[in-house]
Amino acid sequence: MSTIGKVCAKCRIELRAKKNGVMVVEMAGFGPCAIHQADLWACPECGMEVVVGFGRKACAYHYEETFEAVMERLRRSDDPVIEFWATQSEKEGQGDAHAG
């Protein structure tokens, strides 16, 4: 088994774990869809970051009764929370929905 981890293609150097257990919010056209926990890795040279190591299922889903309370707790937290969209077009559409 290889001990080589994740490598920055630009700098050609191995990434380092920056923070384990970051909260990641999966976004959809209607807003937050699910909350995941994952790990944040970064290149020590250029600072490029990548989120990897998602669990098998989300910590919370938008249709669950406690979802809004969990989202509110994340909004108030000092810990980093990363939002992501599946595609660029979904992200751009989300921005248009909030611009109005």
Helix, strand or coil, per DSSP, at residue 91 = helix
Above 90 in pLDDT, residue 87? no
Residue 35 pLDDT exceeds 50: yes
SS3 39: strand
Tell me the C-alpha to C-alpha distance, in Å, between residue 94 and each of 7, 28, 44, 89.
31, 7, 32, 9
pLDDT(63) > 70: yes
How buried is 41 (Cβ within 10 angstroms: 0-12 exposed, 13-18 middle, 19+ buried)? buried
On whether the CB atoms of residues 21 and 39 are closer than 8 A, the answer is yes
In this prediction, residues 14-39 reach a mean pLDDT of: 94
The pLDDT of 3-30, averaged and rounded, is 92
Q: Which two tokens stand for residue 86?
A: 């599946």
**Separation of alpha carbons 26 and 28, rounded Å:** 7
d(CA 49, CA 66): 30
Mean per-residue pLDDT over the chain, rounded: 88
Task: Say what the pTM is.
Answer: 0.79
pLDDT of 14 strictly over 70: yes
Query: What percent of the chain clears pLDDT 90, i.e. is strictly above it?
Result: 73
User: Which of 49-53, 64-68, 96-100 is least confident?
Assistant: 96-100
